[in-house]
Amino acid sequence: MIALTTSSRHHQELRPPAVVMGTNEIASAVAVHLHRAGYGVVLSHDPAPPVIRRGMAFHDTLYGDATVIEDIIGRNVDHALHVLAEMSVPGRVAVTRLGLSDLLVIGRLSVLVDARMQKHRVTPDLRNLAVTTIGLGPGFQVDGNCDVAIETRPVRNGTVLRAGVTDAADGKPALLGGVGRERFAYAQAAGTWRSAFDVGLRIYKGMTVGHLEGEPVHAPIDGILRGVVRDDTVVPAGVKLLEIDPRKRRASWTGIDERGRRIAMAAVDALQSIVAGASSA
């Protein structure tokens, strides 16, 4: 077995390396499940779109905040060699601003998951970058730019594709407490977002939750602040700035939600099937 010496002076077994592109709640759910499946995981931050469900994500690790999701700890690292060491520590995943090209120096990747959820961007071909590549959401074609794809649209959430193309984005979010698009506030223009609010707060319709380039942004409905872009973030026009959970006492804003878990479990199940098939062959 290969062993590494970590900064905590413990010798850890080197796990098969897995890179998850994105630090949002879906990427974080996938990271947790991959770690539990025996992989060493690093999440690579991508700024677009901005993360709002920060209580469900490792995103704030990048800013020095302590983040724990279902007993898995996120640790911010800024050097590829430190990433490799951190990935081998049980109960921890690495979170970094390093891009994919920077992370390739750690060696041949076992798994690469694109969980950036970039609904309208052209997705590059990932297949030569890892043994197994998985694409989540719109923009993926099996044997075109990934090895396997997972649907993320509400009506097909968690469906594994071993051939074909994933559904295009339709702009229809899943209902939460019977409320769809109306629970979000969107950026009407590009600019710097400022807000002193954090997730989990009780919010009332019409409250000023933050300002975009000095213009107030109000809560669209009553409920609990389930998601909000981090203060002092530059955002493009059209992205989600905040989300209100209308379920009040039944609201959730931390951990892994049902959607994220279904996607993460589908990704890991598909990966394990591929590995098992390769072993049999």
Instruction: Report if residue 237 sits inside a domain.
Output: yes
Report the pLDDT averaged over residues 26-54. 96
> Are 208 and 273 contained in the same domain?
no
Angstrom distance (rounded) from CA 60 to CA 35: 19
CATH number of the CATH domain containing 214: 2.40.50.100
74: how many CB neighbours lie within 10 A of its CB? 27
pLDDT number for residue 3 = 37
pLDDT per residue as tens digits for the range 74-114: 999 999 889 989 998 999 999 999 999 899 888 889 999 99
What are the b/e assignments for 29-48, b being 16+ CB within 10 Å?
bbbbbbbebebbbbbbbbee
> Are 45 and 150 contained in the same domain?
yes
Query: What dihedral angle (degrees, nearest 10) is formed by the CA atoms of 151, 155, 158, 159?
Result: -70
pLDDT per residue as tens digits for the range 42-79: 999 998 899 999 999 999 999 999 999 999 999 999 99
CATH number of the CATH domain containing 155: 3.40.50
How far apart, in Å, are the Cα atoms of 81 and each of 5, 42, 279? 11, 12, 30
> Are 158 and 266 contained in the same domain?
yes
Tokens of residue 63, six digits: 């800013």
> Are 162 and 110 contained in the same domain?
yes
Based on the structure, what is the number of domains in the chain?
2
> Are 164 and 210 contained in the same domain?
no
Instruction: Report if residue 8 sits inside a domain.
Output: yes
Return the higher-pLDDT residue of 238 and 248.
238
> Are 196 and 157 contained in the same domain?
no
> Are 12 and 113 contained in the same domain?
yes
Give the domain range for residue 84. Answer: 3-170+258-280
Instruction: Report if residue 230 sits inside a domain.
Output: yes
Q: What percent of the chain has pLDDT over 90?
A: 78
> Are 130 and 32 contained in the same domain?
yes
pLDDT number for residue 163 = 96
Instruction: Report if residue 175 sits inside a domain.
Output: no
Instruction: Report if residue 94 sits inside a domain.
Output: yes
> Are 205 and 118 contained in the same domain?
no
> Are 139 and 239 contained in the same domain?
no
Instruction: Report if residue 231 sits inside a domain.
Output: yes
pLDDT number for residue 121 = 75
pLDDT number for residue 12 = 56
pTM above 0.75, yes or no: yes
> Are 130 and 33 contained in the same domain?
yes
Instruction: Name the nearest CA neighbour of 240 among 181, 198, 168, 157.
Output: 181
pLDDT per residue as tens digits for the range 187-223: 999 999 999 999 999 999 999 999 999 999 999 999 9
| The one-letter amino acid at 223 | G
**What pairs with residue 132 in β-bridges?**
111
Instruction: Name the nearest CA neighbour of 267 among 160, 165, 162.
Output: 160
> Are 237 and 266 contained in the same domain?
no
Average pLDDT, rounded, for the chain: 92
